Chains A and B, each alone.
Chain A
Amino acid sequence: MLPYEEKERVVAFIHLEAQLADEARYDEWEALWSDQANYWVPRRDGLDPATQVSHINDNRARIATRVAQLKTGYRYSQEPASPMRRLVSNIEIEPLDESGYRVASNFLLLELAVQSTNDLHLWGGRVTHELERAGNELKMRSKKVVLVNGDEPIPNLAFLI
Chain B
Amino acid sequence: MNSVKEGIDFSELIQDDRIHGSLYTDADIYNEELTRIFYNGWVFVGHDSEIPESGDWVRRNIGEQPVLMIRDKTGQVQVLMNRCTHRGNLLFTNKAGNDHHLLCPYHGWVFDADGTLLDTPEAGGYGKQFNKPDFNIPKVNHVDSYRGFVFACAAEEAITLAEHLGDAAQLLDRVADMSPSGEIELSGGWLQHRFKANWKMLPENDTDGYHVASTHQSFVMATSSQAPDYVGEDSLPQVRDWGNGHTEIDFTPGYRKVDKTFEWYGRLSESKVPDYIAAMEQRYGKEEARKKLVDGPPHAIIFPNLFLAEMNIVYYYPVAPDECVQVYTPLYLKGAPELNKRTIRQTEGAVGPAAFLLADDVTIAERTQIGLRAHGSDWLDLSRGVDREEVDKDGHPVSHLSDETSNRAFWNHYKAVMNQ
Q: Which residues in A have some Cβ–Cβ distance to B below 8 Å?
A: 41, 43, 47, 50-57, 62, 65-66, 68-69, 72-78, 115-117, 119, 151-158, 161
The answer to the question of B93 belonging to the interface, with a C-beta cut-off of 8 Å to chain A, is: no
Q: Are B218 and A75 in contact (CB under 8 A)?
A: yes
Mark contacts of B207-239 with chain A using CB atoms, 8 A cut-off: 1 yes-contact digit, 0 otherwise.
Answer: 000000001011101110000000000000000
Q: Are A151 and B192 in contact (CB under 8 A)?
A: yes
Q: Are A74 and B348 in contact (CB under 8 A)?
A: no
Known: A55-B354, A56-B354. A156 touches B345 (CB 8 A): no
Which residues on the A side are within 8 Å of B188 (C-beta)? 51-53
What distance in Å separates the Cβ of B288 from its nearest Cβ neighbour in chain A?
A: 29
Q: Are A76 and B187 in contact (CB under 8 A)?
A: no
Residue of A nearest to B215 (CB): A76
Q: Are A51 and B187 in contact (CB under 8 A)?
A: yes
Q: Are A153 and B325 in contact (CB under 8 A)?
A: yes
Q: A62-B349, A117-B366, A155-B353 are in contact. List 6 more A-B contacts (CB 8 A).
A: A53-B329, A53-B352, A55-B353, A65-B223, A69-B218, A156-B359
A137-B158 Cα distance, complex, nearest whole Å: 68
Instruction: Identify A74's interface contact among B221, B329, B354, B359, CB under 8 A.
Output: B221
Q: Which 8 A-B pairs have the closest CB atoms?
A: A116-B366, A77-B359, A69-B222, A157-B354, A74-B218, A153-B192, A158-B359, A68-B222
Most chain A CB atoms below 10 A, which of B190, B218, B221, B364: B218
Which residues on the B side are within 8 Å of A55 (C-beta)? 191, 348, 352-354
Which residues on the A side are within 8 Å of B363 (C-beta)? 76-77, 115-116, 156
Q: Are A57 and B345 in contact (CB under 8 A)?
A: yes
Q: Are A50 and B353 in contact (CB under 8 A)?
A: no
Q: Are B189 and A43 in contact (CB under 8 A)?
A: yes
A152-B222 Cα distance, complex, nearest whole Å: 29
The answer to the question of B373 belonging to the interface, with a C-beta cut-off of 8 Å to chain A, is: no
Which residues on the A side are within 8 Å of B190 (C-beta)? 53
Known: A62-B349, A75-B218, A117-B366. A53 touches B191 (CB 8 A): yes
The answer to the question of B194 belonging to the interface, with a C-beta cut-off of 8 Å to chain A, is: yes
The answer to the question of B59 belonging to the interface, with a C-beta cut-off of 8 Å to chain A, is: no
Instruction: Identify A53's interface contact among B218, B222, B347, CB under 8 A.
Output: B347
Which residues on the B side are within 8 Å of A117 (C-beta)? 196, 366, 370
Which residues on the A side are within 8 Å of B221 (C-beta)? 68-69, 72, 74
What distance in Å separates the Cβ of B350 from its nearest Cβ neighbour in chain A?
A: 11
A51-B363 Cα distance, complex, nearest whole Å: 29
Chain B interface size band reads 35 or more
Instruction: Identify B218's interface contact among A54, A76, A153, CB under 8 A.
Output: A76
Number of A-B contacts (CB under 8 A): 110
Which residues on the A side are within 8 Å of B193 (C-beta)? 153-156
Which residues on the B side are within 8 Å of A77 (C-beta)? 359-360, 362-363
Which residues on the B side are within 8 Å of A158 (C-beta)? 353-354, 359-360
- 30 A-B pairs with C-beta separation under 8 A: A51-B340, A53-B190, A53-B330, A53-B347, A53-B348, A54-B348, A55-B352, A57-B348, A65-B223, A68-B221, A69-B222, A72-B222, A74-B218, A76-B218, A76-B364, A77-B359, A77-B363, A116-B366, A119-B196, A151-B95, A153-B327, A154-B194, A154-B353, A155-B196, A155-B353, A156-B354, A156-B359, A158-B354, A158-B360, A161-B354
Which residues on the A side are within 8 Å of B4 (C-beta)? none
What distance in Å separates the Cβ of B191 from its nearest Cβ neighbour in chain A?
A: 6
A74-B352 Cα distance, complex, nearest whole Å: 18
Most chain B CB atoms below 10 A, which of A50, A77, A158: A77
Which residues on the B side are within 8 Å of A154 (C-beta)? 192-194, 353
Instruction: Identify B362's interface contact among A54, A56, A75, A156, CB under 8 A.
Output: A156
The answer to the question of B341 belonging to the interface, with a C-beta cut-off of 8 Å to chain A, is: yes
A141-B297 Cα distance, complex, nearest whole Å: 36
A157-B356 Cα distance, complex, nearest whole Å: 10
Q: Are B189 and A76 in contact (CB under 8 A)?
A: no
What distance in Å separates the Cβ of A118 from its nearest Cβ neighbour in chain B?
A: 9
What distance in Å separates the Cβ of B353 from its nearest Cβ neighbour in chain A?
A: 4
The answer to the question of B86 belonging to the interface, with a C-beta cut-off of 8 Å to chain A, is: no
What distance in Å separates the Cβ of B99 from its nearest Cβ neighbour in chain A?
A: 20
Q: Are A153 and B194 in contact (CB under 8 A)?
A: yes
Residue of A nearest to B347 (CB): A53
Q: Are B348 and A56 in contact (CB under 8 A)?
A: yes
Residue of A nearest to B329 (CB): A53
A116-B367 Cα distance, complex, nearest whole Å: 5
Mark contacts of B72-91 with chain A using CB atoms, 8 A cut-off: 1 yes-contact digit, 0 otherwise.
Answer: 00000000000000000000
Which residues on the B side are within 8 Å of A75 (C-beta)? 218, 360
The answer to the question of B382 belonging to the interface, with a C-beta cut-off of 8 Å to chain A, is: no
Which residues on the B side are within 8 Å of A50 (C-beta)? 341, 344
A69-B219 Cα distance, complex, nearest whole Å: 6
A155-B219 Cα distance, complex, nearest whole Å: 19
What distance in Å separates the Cβ of B348 from its nearest Cβ neighbour in chain A?
A: 5
What distance in Å separates the Cβ of B360 from its nearest Cβ neighbour in chain A?
A: 5
Q: Are B370 and A116 in contact (CB under 8 A)?
A: yes
A154-B193 Cα distance, complex, nearest whole Å: 5
